[in-house]
Amino acid sequence: MKRVELVGLHLEGTTGTPLVLLREDDAPHRILPIFVGASEAVAIAVALGGEQPQRPLTHDVMAALVQQLDARVDALEVTELSDGAFVASLALTGPHGQQRVDTRPSDGIALAMRVGAPLFVSEAVLDEAGAVVADDLDGDLDDDALDEETIDEAVAEFRTFLDDLDPADFAADIDDE
């Protein structure tokens, strides 16, 4: 498993679908984009911004439950890519020892961001779906500046997306299911 960090949220150019960008801590610093749902993107954006909603969101409730049950989230691990979908699990430790819970990466990231748990991605997933940012191939790019720039741009773009979001869009998706 390779440690990664969440460097931002982005909207895919052609569809406007939100995605998270995970960046490998060590060289070659591959970027892994993972598409997420709108509500999960909002939950991640809230955590990234350090905001406290007036009422707890689902992932805030999950974090409170973990704490109330004397457990902790040790890590989120994106373990494989199966039929085009990322598979992840939460590593937990509690009164009954270590446990693994299957999760969508988006939900796991939203929870991990709230409890300060690290993020990991398997080498196989990074090999299959990760990409090296072309501007950093020579290693001359200031990684801290890239992270701050990427985060600022992605958050600004995502906030614009949220401002234009119509709650009726969610109802249409539910009706289609």
Q: For 29-86, how does the pLDDT look when each residue is reduced to its tens digit (9 = 90+)?
A: 999 999 999 999 999 998 888 888 889 989 999 999 999 999 999 999 999 999 989 9
Angle between helices 38-48 and 58-68 (to 10 degrees): 60
Q: What is the pTM of this model?
A: 0.75
119-129: b (≥16 Cβ within 10 Å) or e: bbbbeebbeeb
Cβ atoms of 134 and 31 within 8 Å: the answer is no
Give the pair of three-digit tokens for residue 74: 């040790």
Q: How many domains does the chain have?
A: 1
Give the pair of three-digit tokens for residue 40: 């999960």
Instruction: Give the Å distances, CA to CA, from 166 to 83, 91, 122, 172.
Output: 31, 35, 36, 11
Q: What is the CATH number of the domain that holds 15?
A: 3.10.690.10
The domain of 84 spans: 2-176
